Amino acid sequence: MSELVLETNKLHKVYDGSSATTVEVFKGINFRLARGEVYYILGHSGVGKSTFLHLLGGLDTPTSGDVLFDGKSLSSMNESQLAHFRNKNIGFVFQFYHLLPELTLLENVMLPLMISNESNAEEKAIEWIERVGLKERIQHLPSQLSGGEQQRTTIARALVHSPQVVLCDEPTGNLDETNAKIVYDLIESLNQEEGVTFCIVTHEESFVKSKPNVYRLTSGNLQKES
Ligand SMILES: Nc1ncnc2c1ncn2[C@@H]1O[C@H](COP(=O)(O)OP(=O)(O)O)[C@@H](O)[C@H]1O
Ligand SMILES: [Mg+2]
């Protein structure tokens, strides 16, 4: 059996409010991600897709149950260990890009390396910008890039520090069909060439048809479709 990189163990998440606003988002999810695979999780709006990715990436904590990375429990880590875990191992790609508007494309991609004080930040960032096909746009600000170019920039930023897992939250939710296909093809080729594990949540069914490792989130549970 292939090596596991991330695993959830009886994952429960309840957003506690008054009795009228309490939401039980997950009812004990057991999910395993093998290293080097691409996973797609489908589910309609409000079903808990973003929450699930936040839990996998240590941005949020479960009500009970646990997330394990390389067999190590995230709930055993303190804040600074968690921050270190995220910086080293996880890349995030969001629907609305989350690029810093006053920084150029190059500076945005360099940022994770600057934060962790890595050497050759500019060189490494340029390599990744070339990989996503944006070398000609290196000095552009996010406002001077198309939606598809901004999302390719966030993919370069997510991969620049060589994470083990990249978590994508509706990465094509804001793109037209042509650009959405470019982004999905880019993710698949980066997976094949770099062996990075991807977990992508989306409500777009059309791109996901015929892929292996498709799951569906419904009523607090995760079920395998293919
Ligand atoms: N901070 C919060 N407090 C209370 N409820 C929340 C909070 N965040 C999300 N929820 C609720 O949890 C459910 C799942 O949200 P979310 O993970 O954002 O869904 P999705 O990404 O699938 O649209 C929704 O019903 C939402 O209203
Ligand atoms: Mg969401």
Whether 183 maps to a domain, the answer reads yes
Q: Point out the ligand 1 atom lying closest to the alpha carbon of residue 170.
A: 21
Whether 151 maps to a domain, the answer reads yes
Read off the tokens for 27.
Answer: 């009812």
Among all bound ligands, the one having the nearest atom to the CA of 220 is 1
DSSP, res 130: H
The DSSP bridge partners found for residue 40 are 200, 214
15 Cβ inside 6 Å of ligand 1: yes
- Which range marks the domain in which residue 124 is found? 38-63+78-224
Whether 4 maps to a domain, the answer reads no
Cβ-Cβ contacts under 8 Å for 116 (sequence gap 6 or more): 87, 88, 161
Kindly report the backbone phi and psi dihedral angles of residue 107, in degrees, each rounded to the nearest multiple of 5, phi listed first: -65, -40
Dump the DSSP string for 138-161.
TT--GGGS-HHHHHHHHHHHHHTT
Q: How many domains does the chain have?
A: 1
User: For residue 114, what are the CA distances in angstroms to 26, 41, 169?
Assistant: 36, 32, 24
**Distance between CA atoms of residues 221 and 127, nearest Å:** 40
Cβ-Cβ contacts under 8 Å for 155 (sequence gap 6 or more): 93, 132, 166, 171, 183, 186, 187, 190
Read off the tokens for 77.
Answer: 């880590």
Does the pTM surpass 0.75? The reply is yes
pLDDT tens digit at each of 226 positions of the chain: 579 999 999 999 999 877 788 889 999 999 999 999 999 999 999 999 999 999 999 999 999 999 999 999 999 999 999 999 999 999 999 999 999 999 999 999 999 999 888 999 999 999 999 999 999 999 999 999 999 999 999 999 999 999 999 999 999 999 999 999 999 999 999 999 999 999 999 988 888 888 999 999 999 999 999 7
* CATH number of residue 122's parent domain: 3.40.50.300
Whether 13 maps to a domain, the answer reads no
Distance 201 CA to ligand 2 centre (A): 8
Strands (E), the chain: 4-15, 23-34, 38-42, 64-69, 72-73, 90-94, 165-169, 197-202, 214-218, 221-224
DSSP, res 1: -
43 Cβ inside 6 Å of ligand 1: yes
Read off the tokens for 127.
Answer: 């390599």
Whether 7 maps to a domain, the answer reads no
Whether 96 maps to a domain, the answer reads yes
Whether 188 maps to a domain, the answer reads yes
Distance 51 CA to ligand 1 centre (A): 7
